[in-house]
Chains A and B, each alone.
Chain A
């Protein structure tokens, strides 16, 4: 029985895997919120670029954390 690499990583560092999953979920929700907010502003002809840029910056920070977690897991595998 061969063990998948993901299962092997979870055995090695389960906390890091859980953190990666939380960041992934957060990033997905924030990205959907950014797109939804822009859609709402556009259909009401009330686009606030400063607000969207601020939300995009928060999303970028989460994206960087997620990328770091995934790199760490790749190194541990």
Chain B
């Protein structure tokens, strides 16, 4: 035997109500069991309307943040570019020429440069270098030693000719005006003995530190 369906009475008129019934069909009263979807909707809308308006979160300025990130990302690159440009632009090729000259320069070059190099433009061929040595021997006095770098002449008691004095004086005066790679090349071609003539008081001023290459 089936048990009879339980009907709840209407709160207004007492008429029996089906469990799924939302309104009483006798008096049209709304059932207060919370099963009405429209009641739920209105309750939710009422709560939302009474809730104070939430203040929108302040934006964190995406433009300035991106700019800060970009700045710190590009800073090391900018520093690297600055260093490269500074190195390449400040001294040009003169430093390279100086380094090349120092590499090619021997320890004894200051005291015994190839005398032939001063008289010959090329100064590379051995024959010409020997001719230069002979020429230097004739005008430069007594030969003390002959090295692979050139002939060494005795300075003590040396009496230069007028032509030698004039040539060396001109050479020294020209050296003062030279700078950079030209100065380096001229220094490499100097003879081992240089005679400077003229009045010492009328000599040109020595180059200062700023003028040196």
Structural contact, A25 and B46, CB atoms closer than 8 A: yes
Q: How close is A40's CB to chain B, nearest CB, in angstroms?
A: 4
Q: How many residues of B contact A (CB 8 A)?
A: 13
Cα distance A54–B27 when bound, in Å?
Answer: 10
The 0/1 profile, CB within 8 Å of B marked 1, for residues 8-52 of chain A is 000000000000000001001100111011011100101010011
The answer, yes or no, to whether B164 is at the interface (CB within 8 Å) is no
Q: How close is A33's CB to chain B, nearest CB, in angstroms?
A: 5
Cα distance A39–B14 when bound, in Å?
Answer: 20
- Name the prevailing secondary structure of the A interface residues: helix
Known contacts A25-B46, A28-B42, A29-B42; A36 and B30 CB within 8 A of each other: yes
Structural contact, B23 and A51, CB atoms closer than 8 A: no
A46 touches which of B22, B25, B38, B46 (Cβ 8 Å):
B25
By a beta-carbon cutoff of 8 Å, the part of chain B in contact with chain A is 21-28, 30, 36, 38, 42, 46
Q: Please, could you name 27 A-B residue pairs with CB atoms under 8 Å apart, sorted by A?
A: A28-B42, A32-B38, A32-B42, A33-B28, A33-B30, A34-B28, A36-B22, A36-B23, A36-B30, A36-B36, A36-B38, A37-B23, A37-B24, A37-B28, A40-B21, A40-B23, A41-B23, A41-B28, A44-B21, A44-B25, A48-B26, A48-B28, A51-B27, A51-B28, A52-B28, A54-B28, A55-B28
